[in-house]
Amino acid sequence: MAETNQEMETWTYHKDFDKLNNLNFSYVRSPIPKLNLYDNIRLELICKDNKLQWITQANSLITSQGREFDFEYQIDKKPPVSVKFRTFKDNKRRGYYDDQIDRIAKELLSGQAIFIRISTIISSVLSAEISLKNAANPIQQVLADCSVAEGNTPSGQQTYSLDDFENDFAKLSSDQQMKVLDEIKKIMAEIR
C-alpha cells in the first residue's frame, strides 16, 4: 500500500523485464493528477533496448488502436508544444512518442509542472497538470540507463536542436533561407 500511495503522489523509477523479447527495461512514471480537477492521465519515460520512448496513459478512450492523436504539452509558462502520439496496436488508452525524447526529458528536468491536453477520437479533450517536483532523480536514472548524457543521444551522436537550427537559419541569406524552406517542405510532404 505504501508503494501505491507513493506512486500516486510522486515520480517513481522502476526496472522490469520483457519476457517476450527477453529484455530488461526501466521507466519513470508520473504521479496521478489531482482528482476532480483533471482527467486521470499518467506519463512514463521508458528506456528499452537503449531507446527512449515517451508514453501517456489515460483511463478514458483516446483513439483507435495504432492511430495518431494530438498531444499538447506546456512546461511552466513556456510556449505549448504539439506532437503526434500514436496508440499502441493493442490499446486505445495508451500511446507513445519516440522522437527527440532526450530533449523532452531535459525539458522535464528544467520545469516545475507540465500541463497536458489530449485530443480524443470523439472530439473531446483530456487534460492534466502534473507536478515535476522530485522528478529529476528518477528521470536521470532512466536517461543514464539509456546512456543519454548532456548533449548526446542514445546512439552517442550530437543532437541538432530546434534552437541550433534557428540560430543557423538566421545566419543564412534570404535566398539560402528560401532554399532550406523548400527542402523542408519537400521532406514534410514525403512524411505525410
| Domains in the chain, CATH or no CATH each | 2-159 (2.60.40.1880), 160-192 (no CATH)
- pTM for the full predicted model: 0.70
Cell of 55: 508514453
CA distances, 183 to each of 46, 67, 132, 163, 190 (Å): 33, 28, 38, 19, 11
Report mean pLDDT in 10-residue bins for the chain, 192 residues: 57 87 88 82 92 93 94 94 94 93 89 94 92 92 78 47 76 88 84 67
132-135, long-range: CB < 8 A, 24+ apart: 132/11, 132/75, 132/108, 133/10, 134/10, 134/11, 135/11, 135/28, 135/30, 135/108, 135/109
pLDDT the model gives residue 57: 95
pLDDT the model gives residue 143: 92
Which DSSP helix (H) or strand (E) runs through 80? Answer: none
Cell of 160: 541538432
pLDDT the model gives residue 159: 59
